[in-house]
Structure 1
Amino acid sequence: MTTAPTTPHSSAALAARVTMLLARTFPEYIPGVVHEGFRVESLDSQEPRRMFVRWHGGTPTRPVWTHGPGLGREKYKARILEVLTREGYAVTSVRGRMDVYVSDRPHDTTGPRFAPVANDVPFTGPWLVMDLWTRAHVAFADTEEEAAAEAMHAERRHVLTDARMVTMPELQDFLERADEIMGDGLTWLRREVHQVVKHTEPVRHGRIDALVDVANALRRGETVTPEVRLVGYNTPYPATGKDRPATYAVHWVPKSTEPAVGFFPGWPWTVIMGAAITLLINAGLTPVRYGEPIGGGSVMCEADGFMVSVANPSDLRVPGIHIDGIGTPAENQTAGAPEALRAAGWRVEGDRGWPGAWTAHPPTR
């Protein structure tokens, strides 16, 4: 993630821009002159400084600017938050706190915005959820797991807000429903299924792309079916011909942060399997990557490659391991497996019942 340049004038420039923006709508607090209004401040000694907007003074009894009567501090905070967000600034607002933290959005926004951070401040909580853009914390937590979960929920709210800003008005009512259907997950894989045995490779997208796509499907009246982590629906072809069906299926599933690399996650794991996978990877072969379960015993295949399993998953007493390719391109990966294993002293035999598959046994001591 990139941040604003660290220069002596970066914070001053940000404060000036935010002040000019807010002054179009709100009175600016000037000590001794204007007794109620906003002020952009910082108590941070670092550069770029952590800037925040604070409202000074009580609720006025009469209008202090031309846009309407006094609103009270909470409503001023909500209005300030709305203006800054609409203008593309990164803002952090925490319930119970009157300050609104503000910063420029980073140039690279592909990474997560919120993260769990260990906290050493007494009488608070051992973990914080930090907004990495504004360097302000949004929540406390007792455990790292709770902090990570809260960070994910904050990330979802952030992406939903961004989606509302960049989509047409008629899509707004469907975005929140799409967010509920999709659940957690920042990076999603999109797969098109054109026939029973023909589908496209999973294509990686950010959450906002998946969110808008699902919302559009809801708006079209498609039946969106969530199953475990899989979200599926039909979508029309751009141009439907007589020689092909009118629709194809779209599958969305979150990309796993901990994929099963080189083996099927639903089958037993052994040390010998791990040794074979490591050997084949070191030989330059590509392992399969399995991600999220998607129901019915199926698991999302995030990348084709070789898979290693015990010779008989239902009977671990059967010696040896089995090597097979997942996906058509994976045949190129398994073709080099026998040579790599034999060079390391393994005994390798072709599988008579399945061309391109192999049974292997480690070296005997």
Structure 2
Amino acid sequence: MTSTLPSTVPRSVVLAARVTTLLARSFPEYVPGVVHEGFRVESLDGREPRRMFVRWHGGTPTRPVWTHGPALGREKYKAGILEALTRAGYAVTSVPGRMDVYVADRPHDTAGPRFAPVASDIPFTAPWLVMDLWTRAHVGVADTEEEATAEAMYAERRHTLTDARMVTVPALYDHLERADELLGDGLAWWRRERHGATDYRDPVRHERIDALVAVANALRAGREVLGAGRMVSYAEPGRNGAGYLVQWVPKSAAPAVGYFPGWPRGSAEGDAITLLVNGGLHPVCYGEPVGDGGFMCEASGFMVSAADPADLSVPGVTLSGVGTERPGELERAPEILRGAGWRVEPDAAWPGTWTAFPPAG
């Protein structure tokens, strides 16, 4: 979509011209006093001048509520306008019960969330809104931030599902719906391969649409897709009959950094983690639960745990490494803690681990 208008023309005017040209191919354009029924691209929001919408003028507003016949007047054009704008690559917002269709250019970077909960500043409405950040139009209301967050995630999932349908074949549509249910909530995802009982490959971050299409294709191929906690996995055939397991896990919004989330920790563990991070070491990062008391390891590094996780009154902490991404880095840990006055001793039972005791306070 390109424009021949001068570069000095405001972007909102350029957008309105593009949308008008596109829709005029299929629908009459409303012209006051000349054409009495048709669409018009407008913006009546003084706070957000580029907040554009398409409104249908003239005709019967809606079909009578007591009938179940075909849509009449403005109502019958809304679906066509939505489809035309969506297929042309625009961002569109449609709210049930409203006839206006909000439209904007899709952002160049679509990796972040499109929908978000925001506190409402609109009089006489619910305290929270679900906002489409692309078109600056709200698509729902909620009484609490938690409800608004849940509605925003639902809208995000439907948006991703729509995008996935546009880049796949109709034969995959039902499998996309099932894949969306299996994956649950989550915008960013980790893909990891397991080629043996202990051979876990490094996770690679993807957007939700990648996980959605991959799981849908696995379902279409007849693979058995299993879930464990927040993890979805299925087997893929490899070369020479050696298959491997594909695992998809959502990126955690609140990862456990530097410690294992299933174990209790006190102030000593927190102090040790802070010292080691400030000393330039990389902490382990655990994310979503993946079944049987396990958690997704989003990034390997050092881990600090209580000397006795079953009894926090036992003095000392245990320092160990998780993964092999940074070999040798952990060897700097004892000197960092000793420099802060800690007593550090190697663990004779577990080579490469240490027990550390904070300064007496």
Normalised by the size of structure 1, how large is the TM-score?
0.92
Q: Match of 1:295, SS?
A: coil
Match of 1:312 in 2: 308
Equivalent in 340, 345, 349 of residue 345 of structure 2: 349
Letter of the 1:310 counterpart? A
Pair 1:16-2:12 in alignment: no
Q: Contact 1:7 / 1:47 at 8 angstroms: preserved in 2?
A: no
Q: Greater shift after overlay, 87-96 or 29-38?
A: 29-38
Letter of the 2:107 counterpart? P
Q: Which aligned pairs between 1:1-365 and structure 2 lie closer than 5 A?
A: 8-45=9-46, 49-59=50-60, 71-237=72-238, 240-241=239-240, 245-365=241-361
Deviation at residue 46 of structure 1 after TM alignment:
5.4
Q: Contact 1:10 / 1:48 at 8 angstroms: preserved in 2?
A: no
CA distance in 1, matches of 2:8, 2:130: 27
Residues 200-245 of structure 1: CA deviation (Å, up to 9, x unaligned): 11100000011110011011100011222100001122xx22xxx4
Computed over aligned residues only, the root mean square deviation of the Cα atoms, in angstroms, reads 1.7
CA distance in 2, matches of 1:131, 1:228: 30
Q: Match of 2:76, SS?
A: helix
Q: Match of 2:325, SS?
A: helix
Query: Do the aligned partners of residues 7 and 341 (structure 1) sit closer, same or farther apart at CA in structure 2, a change above 3 Å counting?
Result: farther
Query: How many aligned positions are there?
Result: 347
Letter of the 2:340 counterpart? A
Query: Unpaired segments of 5 or more residues in structure 2?
Result: 1-6, 62-69
Residues 114-169 of structure 1: CA deviation (Å, up to 9, x unaligned): 11111122220111111111000111111111111111111111111111111123
CA distance in 2, matches of 1:48, 1:159: 27
Q: Contact 1:113 / 1:132 at 8 angstroms: preserved in 2?
A: yes
Q: Match of 2:89, SS?
A: coil
Match of 1:63 in 2: none
Query: Do the aligned partners of residues 70 and 299 (structure 1) sit closer, same or farther apart at CA in structure 2, a change above 3 Å counting?
Result: closer
Query: Unpaired segments of 5 or more residues in structure 1?
Result: 1-5, 61-68
CA distance in 2, matches of 1:314, 1:47: 56
Q: Match of 2:130, SS?
A: strand
CA distance in 2, matches of 1:329, 1:353: 23
Deviation at residue 299 of structure 1 after TM alignment:
0.6
CA distance in 1, matches of 2:26, 2:243: 49
Letter of the 1:322 counterpart? T
Letter of the 1:119 counterpart? S
